[in-house]
Amino acid sequence: MTYAAHHRDFVPYFPYQTSTGSNAVTNKASVLRRIVDAIFESRQKQAGRDIARFLARSGGRLTDDIEREITQRLLTGNWNPRQ
């Protein structure tokens, strides 16, 4: 089995200092970061819709062959019906 550590498993090197003062600054993502996140989320949703549509066309069963085809189509971006 493999294990991928989660960021919560590590102790931060620099201790977090919480400010209780009235001038506390909130960490808000930059405009560019929010745009990139929105594009990434949009592409993930589109990939999910494409996979669902492909599974429905192929009979709804997820077999090894279908899984390989989905992976190939995700890598190439070719979602046309079986070619």
pLDDT digits (tens, 9 = 90+) for 57-73: 888 888 899 889 888 88
Q: Minimal CA–CA distance to 66: which of 75, 36, 17, 56?
A: 56
Task: Write the single-letter amino acid at 20.
Answer: T
* Helix and strand element counts for the chain (H, E): 2, 0
**Tokens coding 68:** 């390989």
Question: To the nearest whole number, what is the mean pLDDT of the chain?
Answer: 77
**Tokens coding 28:** 């808000």
Give the per-residue pLDDT at 71: 87
Can you tell me which residue has the tokens 């819709």?
A: 49
Q: Minimal CA–CA distance to 50: which of 35, 32, 72, 31?
A: 72
Residues of the chain above pLDDT 90, percent: 16
